[in-house]
């Protein structure tokens, strides 16, 4: 039983998000859906799952043809469509059992009370079935990201209400996973596919696709620009189709200027800091310097950023900014320090508010005049920011939640820069961001550093650290064990050091 979509069209006001999209999936296929930020991937998925209603087109769910305008979440569910949306929902403060049960009909006892014993038993079965290494009573936030992601997938797959055809859709499931975790997730998906499930898979990590995806369909501006078969799926071909120019042209544009040598003046000093997962951290960031933090998930990278930001309290050591020790201010962020958090959706964005409100939040400063907010000045500033940061949006007034993932990230970085901090902390700055936007974000950060901004960046994408940073500090189990720069700053070295191994000198 196959799935196909024909002529799917969807407009949002002036934006044509999908323009006559055709796609077909066969049983057992892992079908990659590729495209730049805002190309329509999530919108296509939402029309298939009935979250958004398409304006035109038809779907064929395993032989049942249905007008795309008639699809509802209930009918998609009936046809066996299971989806993990881009900003998927799991609940960190609930247990594995509670998370798994949240997607199912809770087993109930007489009087409608939830039968937690039965729910727990089901959870144990589900964990075994999906080969997930977790305890049903653990809180989700205590699990490694890949395990959390597997629980989320198990939850959607387990919602099988009938013998539907089995289409599993994953919208960027690997955004916060390390390379090893991506492999584990892929192994699980290959197992599902071999059992006959169709998998539709969205990612910006194009290197993950060769050898894994059986087909790739590329969207650009809401249209299908082409399709590649398994043995045609290569990074350079995908880039060319996604962007419309060759990878070489793109790289030469983004690497046109070398990293400026950092000035030696020290701006940020982290000295013998401990607290939470951090056992002993030492590092310095010079004026205009970009410093990376590498290490495995769970090594304490985000906690270290939070301590510098002022929202997590160190229990030992000192953090110095321009020679002054930063005092603990009960979790209030330090002046002149800005953070782009890993979980931007929960921690940094105001989803229902407009793009303007999100860009100017906390920093309306220069637009206030005698206690009156000059909306016109604000609007024109925001327009400039949108243009400079390459944010793709129909206007500055659109709701933030309608922007594509990568465009949301550009806006949050723009907001942080607008506050003119001395130190910018970035946690996974280009997660969910397409190839071209990633280069644009690197460019923005680099030129801000040239103006004197000091940057501390955490990334699981080691190539990103190598491309962006003057030097990188490696964190292993809460201890900064090494600093590498110059010719030693390579992805291989960062990977080896992250696992506590010695590096190969070149």
**Using CB distances below 5 to 8 A depending on partner kind, what does residue 406 bind out of ligand ATP, Mg ion, none?**
ligand ATP
The binding track of 418-437 with respect to ligand ATP, each residue x by CB under 6 A or -, is ----------------x---
Cβ proximity to Mg ion, 96 vs 175, nearer residue: 175
The binding track of 37-76 with respect to ligand ATP, each residue x by CB under 6 A or -, is xxxxxxx---------------------------------
Is residue 402 part of the contact set for ligand ATP (CB under 6 A)? yes
Strand boundaries in 62-211, DSSP class E = 64-67, 81-84, 167-171, 198-202
Tokens of 343: 């979980």
| β-bridge partners, 269 | 284, 320
In the sheet that holds 15-25, the strands lie side by side as 15-25, 3-12, 56-61, 64-67
Minimum CB separation of residue 202 from Mg ion in Å reads: 7
Contacts for 305 with CB less than 8 Å, ≥ 6 apart: 293, 339, 425, 427, 456, 458
280 exposed, middle or buried (CB, 10 Å; 0-12, 13-18, 19+)? Answer: middle
Instruction: Count interface residues toward ligand ATP (CB under 6 A).
Output: 19
Q: b/e for 250-276, b at 16 or more Cβ within 10 A?
A: beeebeeeeeeebeeebbbbbeebbbb
Minimum CB separation of residue 41 from Mg ion in Å reads: 5
Residue 476: count other Cβ atoms within 10 Å of its Cβ.
19
Rg, C-alpha atoms of the chain = 24
Is residue 403 part of the contact set for ligand ATP (CB under 6 A)? yes
Is residue 86 part of the contact set for Mg ion (CB under 5 A)? yes
Instruction: Count interface residues toward Mg ion (CB under 5 A).
Output: 4
Minimum CB separation of residue 432 from ligand ATP in Å reads: 6
How far is residue 151's CA from residue 134's CA, in Å, rounded to a whole number? 9
Give whole-number Cα distances, 484 to 182, 294, 470, 495, in Å.
Answer: 26, 10, 9, 12
Minimum CB separation of residue 52 from ligand ATP in Å reads: 7
How far is residue 204's CA from residue 126's CA, in Å, rounded to a whole number? 29
> Sign of dihedral through CA atoms 79, 80, 84, 86?
negative
**Using CB distances below 5 to 8 A depending on partner kind, what does residue 97 bind out of Mg ion, ligand ATP, none?**
none
Minimum CB separation of residue 171 from ligand ATP in Å reads: 7
| Positions in 73-112 near ligand ATP (CB under 6 A) | 86
Minimum CB separation of residue 392 from ligand ATP in Å reads: 6
Among 17, 199, 411, 469, binds ligand ATP (CB under 6 A): 17
| Positions in 392-431 near Mg ion (CB under 5 A) | 405
Cβ proximity to ligand ATP, 261 vs 394, nearer residue: 394
The binding track of 270-309 with respect to ligand ATP, each residue x by CB under 6 A or -, is ----------------------------------------
Is residue 42 part of the contact set for Mg ion (CB under 5 A)? yes
**Using CB distances below 5 to 8 A depending on partner kind, what does residue 148 bind out of Mg ion, ligand ATP, none?**
none
Cβ proximity to Mg ion, 86 vs 99, nearer residue: 86
Give whole-number Cα distances, 172 to 21, 179, 219, 221, 358, in Å.
Answer: 20, 14, 15, 19, 24
- The residues of the shown chain that bind ligand ATP, judged by CB under 6 A, are 12, 15, 17, 35, 37-43, 86, 392, 402-406, 434
For binding to Mg ion (CB under 5 A), which residues are involved? Answer: 41-42, 86, 405
């Amino acid at each position: 039983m196959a799935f196909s979509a024909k002529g799917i069209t969807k407009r949002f006001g002036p934006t044509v998000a999908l323009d006559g999209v055709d796609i077909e999936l066969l049983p057992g296929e892992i079908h990659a859906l590729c495209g730049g930020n805002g190309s329509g991937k999530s919108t296509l998925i939402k029309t298939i799952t009935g979250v958004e209603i398409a304006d035109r087109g038809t779907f064929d769910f395993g032989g049942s043809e249905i007008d795309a305008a008639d699809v509802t979440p209930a009918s998609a569910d009936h046809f066996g469509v299971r989806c993990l949306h881009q900003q998927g929902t799991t609940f960190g403060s609930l247990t594995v059992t509670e998370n798994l049960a949240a997607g199912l009909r809770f087993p109930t006892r007489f009087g409608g009370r939830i039968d937690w014993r039965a729910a727990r038993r089901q959870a144990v079965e589900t964990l075994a079935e999906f080969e997930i290494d977790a305890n049903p009573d653990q809180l989700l936030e205590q699990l490694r990201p890949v395990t959390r992601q597997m629980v989320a997938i198990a939850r959607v797959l387990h919602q099988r209400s009938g013998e539907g055809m089995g289409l599993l859709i994953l919208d960027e499931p690997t955004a916060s996973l390390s390379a090893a975790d991506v492999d584990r997730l892929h192994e699980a998906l290959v197992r599902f596919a071999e059992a006959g499930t169709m998998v539709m898979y969205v990612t910006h990590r194009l290197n993950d696709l060769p050898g894994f995806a059986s087909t790739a369909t590329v969207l650009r501006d809401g249209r299908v620009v082409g399709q590649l078969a398994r043995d045609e799926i290569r990074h350079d071909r995908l880039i060319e189709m996604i962007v419309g120019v060759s990878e070489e042209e793109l790289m030469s544009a983004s690497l046109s200027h070398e990293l400026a040598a950092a000035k030696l003046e020290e701006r940020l000093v982290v000295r013998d800091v401990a607290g939470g997962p951090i056992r002993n951290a030492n590092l310095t960031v010079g004026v205009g310097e970009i410093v990376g933090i590498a290490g495995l998930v769970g090594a304490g990278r985000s906690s270290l950023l939070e301590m510098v930001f002022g929202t997590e309290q160190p229990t030992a050591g000192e953090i110095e900014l321009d020679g002054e020790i930063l005092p603990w201010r009960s979790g209030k962020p330090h002046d002149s320090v800005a953070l782009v958090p890993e979980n931007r959706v929960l921690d940094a964005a105001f989803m229902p508010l407009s793009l303007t409100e999100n860009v100017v939040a906390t920093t309306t400063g220069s637009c206030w005049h005698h206690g009156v907010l000059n909306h016109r000045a604000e609007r024109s500033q925001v327009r400039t920011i949108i243009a400079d940061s390459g944010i793709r949006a129909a206007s500055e007034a659109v709701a933030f939640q309608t922007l594509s993932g990568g465009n949301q990230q550009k806006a949050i970085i723009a907001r942080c820069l607008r506050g003119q901090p001395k130190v910018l902390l970035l946690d996974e700055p280009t997660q969910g961001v397409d190839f071209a936007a990633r280069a644009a974000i690197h460019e923005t950060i680099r030129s801000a550093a040239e103006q004197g901004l000091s940057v501390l960046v955490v990334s699981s994408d080691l190539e990103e650290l190598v491309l962006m940073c003057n030097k990188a500090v490696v964190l292993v189990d809460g201890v900064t064990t090494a600093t590498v720069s110059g010719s030693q700053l390579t992805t291989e070295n960062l990977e080896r050091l992250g696992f506590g191994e010695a590096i190969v000198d070149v």
